[in-house]
Amino acid sequence: MSETTATTNHLGLARTDYGGAKSTLCLGCGHDQITRHIIAATYESGVDPYNVAKTSGIGCSSKTGAYFINKGYGINSVHGRMPSVATGAAMANRHLVVLGVSGDGDTASIGMGQFVHAVRRNTNMVYIVENNGVYGLTKGQFSATSDKGARVKSGEVNDYADIDLCQIAMDLGCGFVARSFSGDAKQMVALIRAAIAHKGFARHDAISPCVTFNNLPDSTKGFAWLKEHNVTLHDLGFVAPYDAVQVEQAPGTTVSVDMPDGSHLVVHKLGDHEHDPTDRAAALAVLQRDRGEAGHVYTGLLYCSPTQSQPPLEDIKHLPDAPLATLNERELRPSRDQFAELMATFR
Ligand code: SF4
């Protein structure tokens, strides 16, 4: 392990080692901001680029995987099926950092069945939804996360209530739930780093304006509206296991969430928001407020409980520490006694 320097991380790698292909998305798309935040987070956390599995589905958002960490494994799956592919990768090698990037179209409609079961099983992965409330790739139809009454460039108004993917994750017992805005780099980088450190399913809703189809001044997922109505819950800092804890703390207003890998997410509450992200009831109250006050979007760490959620899927399934592909025939084959025991269960 190297010393962290001004231009390299503790693995001795430069930020450019975490880059990918040149983006082909529209100039100014929020998704490209998120790509930069993913690169910053993985670089700063010293994630081994060769140990990353990037999975995505279909949509503008799902092209994101091509734009970061070109040294990692990447799979662009069938529409809405990203969670299955990610689950397979996480099960095959429990040491992989599995970064799933999807969109509101890919997750909240065709992929909903897959999404809820990945949450329910507590698959060990980071699941980012680049949420813009619109199907950008097919020219601007409303998605299921679009707010009721929202308007897109064509002038059409959405008649249906939105689906809140954070609320659904909370209902299913998810141990890490966050919401952020692509325009807030500091917040999103800290949240992605914490999501990587979390053991189990980490749900990250990244509101990401579509500048081409859903960016009118009153578009509730557009840049102008978000800049005015985004309420940031906390000032977040992330302290890696190899860093000395040097975070300014104001007594009574700072919570340190200790992550399983020895890192710490330092949550400094802002303004009047007394939200404690380790308190599930408080997190649900924030989500309800978000839905009730149509004028606000609350961003930050909504909920984190590294110890209270059920064990990650690979622990439930008693998977070995070694990647499955490295097991030899002797390790894979049950012993005579184990086989006899198994056969006895069928008699
Ligand atoms: Fe981004 Fe919208 Fe363009 Fe798709 S259509 S790349 S979501 S700005």
Q: Is the CB of 34 under 6 A from ligand 1?
A: no
Give the neighbor-by-neighbor strand order of the sheet with 73-76: 73-76, 52-56, 97-103, 125-131, 201-207, 176-181, 297-304, 230-232
Q: Residue 91: which H helix or E strand, with range?
A: helix 82-92
Range name among 60-69, 107-116, 123-132, 251-260 with the lowest pLDDT average = 251-260
CB 172 within 8 A of CB 199: no
The Cβ of residue 211 has, within 10 Å, a number of other Cβ atoms equal to: 16
pLDDT on residue 306: 72
Q: What is the pLDDT of residue 154?
A: 83
Q: Give the C-alpha separation, 20 to 4, whole Å.
A: 22
Give the pair of three-digit tokens for residue 169: 């994750």
Q: Whose CA is nearest to atom 3 of ligand 1?
A: 26
Q: What is the pLDDT of residue 184?
A: 94
In the three-class reduction of DSSP (H, G, I as helix; E, B as strand; rest coil), residue 234 is classed as strand
Please work out whether the CB of residue 60 comes within 6 Å of at least one atom of ligand 1.
yes
| Residue range 82-95: mean pLDDT, rounded | 97
**Torsion angle in degrees (nearest 10) through CA of 144, 145, 148, 154:** -80
pLDDT band of residue 270 (cuts 50, 70, 90) is confident
Q: With 60 as the cut, is the pLDDT of residue 345 above it? A: yes
Q: Using one digit for the tens of pLDDT, what is the confidence trace for 210-254?
A: 999 999 888 889 999 898 888 888 889 888 888 765 555 554 577
> Measuring from atom 5 of ligand 1, which residue has the nearest CA?
136
Beta bridge partners of 297: 230
Helix (H, G, I), strand (E, B) or coil at 54: strand
DSSP secondary structure letters along 150-170: -B-TT--B--SPPP-HHHHHH
- At residue 82 the predicted structure's pLDDT band, cuts being 50, 70 and 90, is very high
Residue 31 CB–ligand 1 contact under 6 Å: yes
Quick one: 262 exposed, middle or buried, by C-beta within 10 A (0-12, 13-18, 19+)? exposed
Please state the pTM of the whole predicted model. 0.93
CA of 103, closest atom in ligand 1: 7
pLDDT of residue 258: 86
Packing angle of the helix pair 112-121, 82-92 (nearest 10 deg):
30
Q: From CA 242, how far away is CA 197, in angstroms rounded? A: 13
% of residues, the chain, pLDDT over 70: 93
- Which residues are registered as beta bridge partners of 101? 56, 128
C-alpha–C-alpha distance, residues 241 and 277, integer Å: 21
Ligand 1 atom closest to the Cα of residue 25 is 6
Atom of ligand 1 lying closest to residue 208 CA: 7
Q: Please state, rounded to an integer, the average pLDDT across all residues of the chain.
A: 91
* pLDDT of amino acid 257: 84
Cβ count near 226 (within 10 Å): 22
201 strand-pairing partners = 125
- DSSP bridge pairs for 131: 207
pLDDT of residue 309: 65
Indicate which atom in ligand 1 lies nearest the CA of residue 60: 4
The CATH homologous superfamily to which domain 15-314 belongs is Thiamin diphosphate (ThDP)-binding fold, Pyr/PP domains (3.40.50.970)
pLDDT for 25 equals 97
- Determine the residue of 211, 215, 223 to mutate for testing ligand 1's pocket, defined as the one with the most ligand atoms within 8 A of the Cβ atom: 211
pLDDT band at 262 (very low <50, low <70, confident <90, very high): confident
Instruction: Supply the pLDDT for residue 252.
Output: 52
Six-digit token pair at 174? Answer: 């998810």
**CA distance linking residue 170 with residue 159, whole number of Å:** 25
